[in-house]
Amino acid sequence: MLAWFQAASARADARPNLLWLTSEDHGPQMGCYGDQYASTPNVDRLAAKGMIYTHAWSNAPVCAPARTTIISGLYPPSTGAEAMRSLVAYPNGKAMFPHYLRQAGYYCTNQSKTDYNLKEPGSTWDVSSARAHWKNRQGNQPFFAVFNSTKSHESQIRTRPHTPIHDPAKVRVPAYHPDTPEVRRDWAQYYDQVSAADADAGARLKELDDAGLAEETIVFYYGDHGSGMPRSKRWPFNSGLHVPLVVYIPEKFKALRPPEYQAGGKSDRLVSFVDLAPTVLSLAGIEPPSWMQGHAFLGQYQAPAQPFVYGFRGRMDERYDLVRSSTDGRYVYIRNYMPHKIYGQYLDYMFQTPTTQVWKRLHDEGRLTPAQDAFWKTKPAEELYDLQADPDEIQNLAAAPGQQAILATLRQAHRAWETKICDVGFLPEGEIQSRSRGSSPYDMGHDEAKYPFRRVFETAELASMLAPSAMPGLKTALTDSDSAVRYWAALGFLMRGGEGVRTGHEELARALDDPSPYVRIVAAEALGRYGDGIDLGRSLSVLASLGDGSKNGFFVTMSALNGIGALGDKAAPLRETIRQFPPNGPSPHSRYDSYVPRLLEELQEKNK
């Protein structure tokens, strides 16, 4: 027994401890990334003895789906967990990655944010709470510990009163933001809060050093997505996805380092959050499960570098959208599947930031440059940006003759990725839930009988590329047996505005009686916005019946209320009807509770 115990202890000593220091809502605005305005001495010191990754993406530009990506090693568009916020079943037979570490003897703690859009399949952590700490492990048990700092969260950018530390006069205002005192103050306060997050990281590193474990522990530092400023957070541009990632691997574990590792160095390898789960398992000597969609970039099971990384945007709070993005490290490709929606849809939480308020006011007053004004307009189907020449991503090169080769490369990479992961985000959110009942969205998405992905995806492509030649195909798709195909066909006519509705008028009128409420809602919005008075009357009747939360489920209600909002002043006849809707609406889980009330409040405010 003594020999067995000594052998087990030796094995434990041979395995690294793993420490993650995470922070919220901040990109690579740090000294170690060359930002001279930033003050981040603690992470800079970590980078000086470790290595930074220059092309790290968070996959999602907002916390819940980003953290869902990390914990699962799966893309949320594949698991049905991309919406901010949501809650869906975990894929059958799979587990969150700390489960595998615990099986291997690691003590796993999280202090303390989870915010997963996936239901936890059993117990994930040994302890996940404000008191969780690696110090509570048994003996020399190896640990995996996460400490999350909230200091740089979006909400802290706008907390007042605040005494500025960074001088607002010296901040660099990106070209897409107006240069106003409000914007400068928010950006300067953001830098102040990044410094506060850096101080939290320094305190955790000191704890490790004081315990004599600094050379026994592999340390990661990263932010959970881009800055909390509008057009970074929630948007899958590089500005919303590019995060700092600093890794220190002690000399004792040099065999786990990648070939490019050197103290104070950098790696240009493309990595993203979906890679973190397999990477941590690899560092612990555990072969990552083959079902994980990421690739280990450190440790015993390092995989080859990937040529692209990917991003996504789905529903953000109460507003629907569907955007996908990809990069090769230099060029960023963005595919907008709902180009008829403006970038800056009204979100209650985002509009609490002074920058958002002044930005929208200046738009309304016609006082913005074209680059600044773009956020308040509808989107093109495709965008392409050269980060070397245009780091603020304001010059869309998708139509540039000299960029068609890289556009085609990234477009093809994007489509291949969509097919590989069986992206279920092309279903209306309510259908993600209904089609996966008794299973999970991931498993449903890989079942052709439940989700004919190729037919749905091809129709979404046809609809959203906005080619005039697509009209006959859209008419045919509106007769398809699958409701999601019909949904995208109806969207295709809506996206084309008045011309689309005139061309598809007969088909859209029939779609007002479609068996799917989501098809009816899209048809009603299209005819209400671009049809005649008779069309508007029929559309208002459909939307009013589906927007009543006492008679419809949550997702139908929320979709209908968004449709009513899209009609603007044309929805005025529903003023009294909306006031009679139940104020709280239906909700499948507390994570969704605030969305219907927000929509109702906005509609009632507009129609006073």
Partners of 309 in the beta sheet? 327
The amino acid that residue 241 corresponds to is L
Torsion angle, alpha carbons of 327, 333, 335, 336, to 10: 110
Q: Is 422 a catalytic residue?
A: no
Instruction: Find out whether 158 and 112 touch, Cβ atoms under 8 Å.
Output: no
Angle 67-123-22 (CA atoms, 0-180°, nearest 5)? 30
Using CA atoms, how far residue 158 sits from 18, 195, 278, 454, in Å, is 34, 16, 36, 44
Q: 5 burial class (0-12, 13-18, 19+ CB within 10 angstroms)?
A: exposed
Instruction: Dump the DSSP string for 8-47.
Output: HHHHHHHSPEEEEEEESS--S-SGGGT-TT---HHHHHHH
Q: How far apart are CA 285 and CA 283, in angstroms?
A: 5
Q: Of 32, 63, 108, 422, which residue is the catalytic one? A: 63
The amino acid that residue 463 corresponds to is A
Q: Residue 108: CB partners within 8 Å, gap ≥ 6? A: 98, 101, 102, 124, 125, 126, 143, 144, 145
Using CA atoms, how far residue 100 sits from 104, 165, 288, 301, 317, in Å, is 6, 43, 9, 15, 32
Instruction: Find out whether 87 and 40 touch, Cβ atoms under 8 Å.
Output: no
And the tokens for 530?
């671009």
User: What are the residue numbers of the active site?
Assistant: 63
